[in-house]
């Protein structure tokens, strides 16, 4: 399976349906980007843990909603292996489940949509997308919405 989900937080009861949703969203995002054989690890954490990771790896001592840790970076950050039967390890996406819950309430949509959005956002970062400019952000946002629509999580 190209996507593994790990729940490492205890603040919010983890529903098995969320794992199924995250796998479906992740597989759709990877497929749309021509990376269906790539492997991604998704870890759900609490705000304290994501703040620790954010401080350690980004120098920002505050919680955030999602972090992506690519195993390969640079110009050739993602290339499929010659034998498509051997998956490439793309990286890790870490999501704060409490932050996802509060953002879902803030934006007036379901926690499932917010989890799908954060995972898609994280995967796109693993694949080299960013939102540093308005143009890049628009491209990324369009791709996120396409994935969410494809799995039934439209606005």
Count Cα atoms within 13 angstroms, Cβ side, for 142.
7
Are 40 and 80 in contact by the 8 Å Cβ rule? The answer is no
Q: Which two tokens stand for residue 29?
A: 């995002």
- Sorted by where each begins, the domain ranges of the chain are 3-150
On the question of pLDDT at 11 being above 60, the answer is yes
Burial of 21 (0-12, 13-18, 19+ CB in 10 A): buried
DSSP, collapsed to helix, strand or coil, labels residue 60 as: coil
Give pLDDT tens digits for 122-132. Answer: 999 999 999 99
Listed in sequence order, the residues at least 6 apart from 91 whose beta carbon sits closer than 8 Å to its beta carbon are: 40, 41, 68, 69, 70, 71, 72, 126
Q: Strands 66-70 and 3-7: what pairing?
A: unpaired
pLDDT for residue 72: 73
Are 64 and 54 in contact by the 8 Å Cβ rule? The answer is yes
Q: Which CATH architecture has domain 3-150?
A: 3-Layer(aba) Sandwich (3.40)
- Report the C-alpha gap between 37 and 88 in whole angstroms: 7
Q: How far is CA 38 from the centre of its chain?
A: 14
For the chain, what percent of residues have pLDDT higher than 90? 85
């Amino acid at each position: 399976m190209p996507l593994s989900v790990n729940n490492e937080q205890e603040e919010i009861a983890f529903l098995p349906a969320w794992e199924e949703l995250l796998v479906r969203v992740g597989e759709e995002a990877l497929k749309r980007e021509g990376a269906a054989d790539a492997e991604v690890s998704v870890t759900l954490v609490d705000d304290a843990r994501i703040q620790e990771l954010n401080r350690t790896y980004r120098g920002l001592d505050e919680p955030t909603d999602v972090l992506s840790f690519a195993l390969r970076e640079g110009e050739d950050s993602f290339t499929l292996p010659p034998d498509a039967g051997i998956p490439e390890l793309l990286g890790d996406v870490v999501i704060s489940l409490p932050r996802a819950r509060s953002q879902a309430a803030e934006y007036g949509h379901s926690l499932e949509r917010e989890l799908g959005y954060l995972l898609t956002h994280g995967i796109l970062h693993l694949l080299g997308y960013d939102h540093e400019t308005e143009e890049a952000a628009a491209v990324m946002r369009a791709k996120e919405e396409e994935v969410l629509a494809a799995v039934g999580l439209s606005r």
